[in-house]
Amino acid sequence: METILKEIKIVKNVMEKNNQLANTIREILVSKKQSMFNFMSSPGSGKTTLLDKLIPFLLSKGYKIGIIEGDVQTDNDAKKLQHHNIPIALINTSRFGGSCHLASNVILGAIEELKEEEIDIILIENVGNLICPASYDTGSDKNLVILSVTEGEDKPLKYPGIFRKTQSAIINKIDLAPILETDMNQIITNIKQINPDSKIFQISAKTSVGIEELGLWIIENHQIKYMNL
């Protein structure tokens, strides 16, 4: 019994420390007039392809973009985004014991790495995982979860935590929905059941459908944050 209590206390301390650092990150972002958006999903949902389409849209609207790219290993995804000629901070969590999420101390390091760059909006590609990334506050202004239609309609019900903690849910690969006979209304109903306030986007990163709508939402949130400053 004692051991269990001790473990709970340790976890609590880790989370408290993570939240403190996330608040430090928020202060740094405000001092630099930056916003940060944290994209989470299971592996293979299309995060990198989505960012590959989102980046040029945001650049075309005059915003300077920076990327924090999280992966357990490899620089594959960072390389895929390199052609946009924007600053990218790569985090390989294998250096920190292969973490399946990005904790705020690691994000703080990435922000340090990007500090000399002129950036308005930072996009985080979190490690592909639907469980613990949601528990770690990264200091982001908004958290988004991506699920692709290939993952099945009941994903939001099976992994409610991440859908509850995110302000937006992106349904990706909608170009495949007719082929897979995906029930889009059922996915939306399931998301709303877990989080009625979640802003839902229906996107095909492949065909770029829905990218503009998502980009405008990001810009709107960035502008609201600094409206009175």
Contacted entry of Mg ion, Zn ion, none for residue 132, CB cut-off 5 to 8 Å set by kind: Zn ion
* Positions that interact with Zn ion (CB under 5 A): 100-101, 132
Contacted entry of Zn ion, Mg ion, none for residue 194, CB cut-off 5 to 8 Å set by kind: none
Nearest to Zn ion of 8, 131 (CB atom) = 131
DSSP 208: T
Q: Least distance to Zn ion from the beta carbon of 76, Å?
A: 20
Half-sphere exposure of 103 (CA within 13 A, CB side): 16
Nearest to Zn ion of 100, 184 (CB atom) = 100
Nearest to Mg ion of 47, 155 (CB atom) = 47
Nearest to Mg ion of 77, 137 (CB atom) = 77
Instruction: Burial-class residue 141 by CB neighbours within 10 Å (0-12, 13-18, 19+).
Output: buried
Residue 100: φ, ψ to 5°: -95, 20
Distance, CA of 160 to CA of 195 (rounded, Å): 9
Contacted entry of Mg ion, Zn ion, none for residue 28, CB cut-off 5 to 8 Å set by kind: none
Helices (H), 37-172: 47-60, 76-81, 104-113, 155-158, 160-165
Q: Note the Cα 69 to chain centre separation in Å.
A: 10
* Positions that interact with Mg ion (CB under 5 A): 47-48, 77
CB burial of 142-172 (b: ≥16 within 10 Å; e: otherwise) equals: bbbbbbbbebbbebbeebbebbebbbbbbbb
Contacted entry of Zn ion, Mg ion, none for residue 47, CB cut-off 5 to 8 Å set by kind: Mg ion
Q: Least distance to Zn ion from the beta carbon of 136, Å?
A: 7
Nearest to Zn ion of 28, 100 (CB atom) = 100
Distance, CA of 134 to CA of 24 (rounded, Å): 19
Q: Least distance to Mg ion from the beta carbon of 77, Å?
A: 4
Asked whether 161 and 131 are in contact (CB, 8 A), the reply is: yes
Q: Least distance to Zn ion from the beta carbon of 12, Å?
A: 16
Q: Is 189 helix (H, G, I), strand (E, B) or coil?
A: helix
Contacted entry of Mg ion, Zn ion, none for residue 155, CB cut-off 5 to 8 Å set by kind: none
Q: Least distance to Zn ion from the beta carbon of 5, Å?
A: 23
Contacted entry of Zn ion, Mg ion, none for residue 48, CB cut-off 5 to 8 Å set by kind: Mg ion
Q: Least distance to Mg ion from the beta carbon of 210, Å?
A: 18
